[in-house]
Amino acid sequence: MESKCPICKKPTVHEFRPFCSKRCAQIDLGHWFRGDYKIEGEEEVKDEEGVDEEKE
């Protein structure tokens, strides 16, 4: 059985396990920081207009 990248489902590359590439590893890290990674304490939340990362 071979592992698959949780981001794009391509076969895992050993060097970047459990991902297929550095790019996917960074994408996952990005989710982590934005989502589940919650620090106790104050953090300035910036929610400006002009965010254009949800274009499809």
27 scored as a contact of Zn ion (CB under 5 A): no
Identified binder of Zn ion from the candidate list 3, 8, 29, 30, rule CB under 5 A: 8
Residue 25 found at the interface with Zn ion (CB under 5 A):
no
Task: In angstroms, give the least distance from the CB of 22 to Zn ion.
Answer: 10
> With binding defined as CB under 5 A, does residue 7 bind Zn ion?
yes
Alpha helices per DSSP H over 1-56:
22-34
49: tokens are 């207009």
Among residues 18, 15, 54, 14, the alpha carbon closest in space to that of 34 is found at 54
User: Of 10 and 31, which CB lies nearer to Zn ion in the complex structure?
Assistant: 10
User: Which residue carries 């989502």 as its tokens?
Assistant: 35
